[in-house]
Amino acid sequence: MRVLFHTFGCKANQYDTERMRQELEAWGAKTTTERAEADVFVVNTCTVTNQADADARRFIRRLQREVPSAQIVVSGCSAALNPDAYHSMDGVSGVVEGHDPVAVASLVASNVPVQIELRSSLDRIDTEPIGGELLRVRRGAARGWLKVQDGCDRKCAFCATRLARGYSRSRHPSQVLAEAKLLAEVHAELVITGIHIGHYGKDLAPEWTLSRLVAELMEKLPDVRFRLGS
């Protein structure tokens, strides 16, 4: 089975796609960048604006026209908030209402025979795992993404991403460092990313801070250049 990934949105979404790719390859799938070769398309969506939602749906319709035999799996923020809109689209074989790479891999590996609901309500987004298997490489890129947290505790009225991503959840510093060491074997520069990285560590016991995490990374990996991203 050959899988093609297409990602809309932020660095956190791009990181999630890399984890999906890594998970699927561990299950025996092959990834491709050629549409004509793909058996399955995984479209990781964004919902930061109405235009982002529309762009994802337009892309899926184009895929269905151009490669009608392929199966399309939809994941990401837009899928979390608008699952019915994707379930009803021609060509969509499955919808993962969120960003869980294991859920995406499970759906694709089962040949996505039916559309399924993976959540009964948005409340479950707040329990979606942060971390899990470590990312080893960002394929085809000079800089690696190092995701340290997900979600946001702010309640900005204009922002749908906070609804799609749930409350802020931080990765344990030991897990961040372990992943950074793996990524540093391939990438000389790592971008620290998340949905609101300023919230990093507030949910940990004992609490951590982003500045403390960065200091720890710089001490343990002095040859790596670190950037702060969104």
pLDDT single digits (tens) 73-93: 999 999 999 999 999 999 999
Among candidates 77, 54, 43, 14, which has minimal Cα distance to 230? Answer: 14
Q: Could you tell me the pTM of the whole model?
A: 0.89
The pLDDT assigned to 128 comes to 57
Q: Is it true that 2-124 and 130-228 share their CATH fold?
A: no
pLDDT digit string (tens) for 159-208? Answer: 999 999 999 999 999 999 999 999 999 999 999 999 999 999 999 999 99
Return d(Cα 209, Cα 197) in angstroms, integer: 9
The larger pLDDT score, comparing residue 28 to residue 152, is at 152
- Return the CATH fold of 2-124: Rossmann fold (3.40.50)
What is the domain partition of the chain in residue ranges? Answer: 2-124, 130-228
Strand order from edge to edge, sheet including 2-7:
30-31, 2-7, 40-45, 71-76, 92-95
Per DSSP, what are the bridge partners of residue 31?
Answer: 3
Return d(Cα 44, Cα 40) in angstroms, integer: 13
Among candidates 155, 162, 142, 149, which has minimal Cα distance to 209? Answer: 149
pLDDT digit string (tens) for 93-107? Answer: 999 999 999 999 988
CATH architecture of 130-228: 2-Layer Sandwich (3.30)
